[in-house]
Amino acid sequence: DQQVKQNSPSLSVQEGRISILNCDYTNSMFDYFLWYKKYPAEGPTFLISISSIKDKNEDGRFTVFLNKSAKHLSLHIVPSQPGDSAVYFCAAPNSGYALNFGKGTSLLVTP
C-alpha cells in the first residue's frame, strides 16, 4: 500500500505564475519529507526538504509547507520558469534506510 501519494499526475502552469504540487501521506511516523526533481533521461536530484518539527521551509523560489494534522505537504514554486518543467517526486524516509516515493507529478511551465 502506497504510503506517499501524489494524486495529480500532471500540472500545467504559465510562466511567472505559482506552481503548487501536492503530496499526501498515510504514515504518521514519518518525520522528514523531501522533494526531488527529475528531468527526462537523468536521475532525480534533491530539491528541498522539511522536518516534521517545522511547517515551512523556503529555499529561493521553492517553499515546502507541511500540515501534519492533514498529513499533507505541498511544494510552491514562485515564479515558475520554463526550466522548472520536470517530474517532481515527494518522498519520506522509511525506517531511516530507504525513501518511500510518490508516483510523481509532471509539471509543464508554458511561456
* Phi, psi at 37, each rounded to 5°: -120, 140
Cell numbers found for residue 18: 505559482
Assess contact for 33 and 50: CB atoms under 8 A.
Answer: yes
Residue range at the interface with other proteins (CB under 8 A); choices 18-26, 53-61, 67-75, 92-100: 92-100
Q: Rule CB under 8 A: say whether 103 interacts with other proteins.
A: yes
Chain positions 24 to 63 lying near other proteins, rule: CB under 8 A, are: 32, 34, 36, 41-46, 49
Assess contact for 104 and 15: CB atoms under 8 A.
Answer: no
The contact set with other proteins (CB under 8 A) reads 6, 9, 32, 34, 36, 41-46, 49, 89, 93, 97-99, 101-104
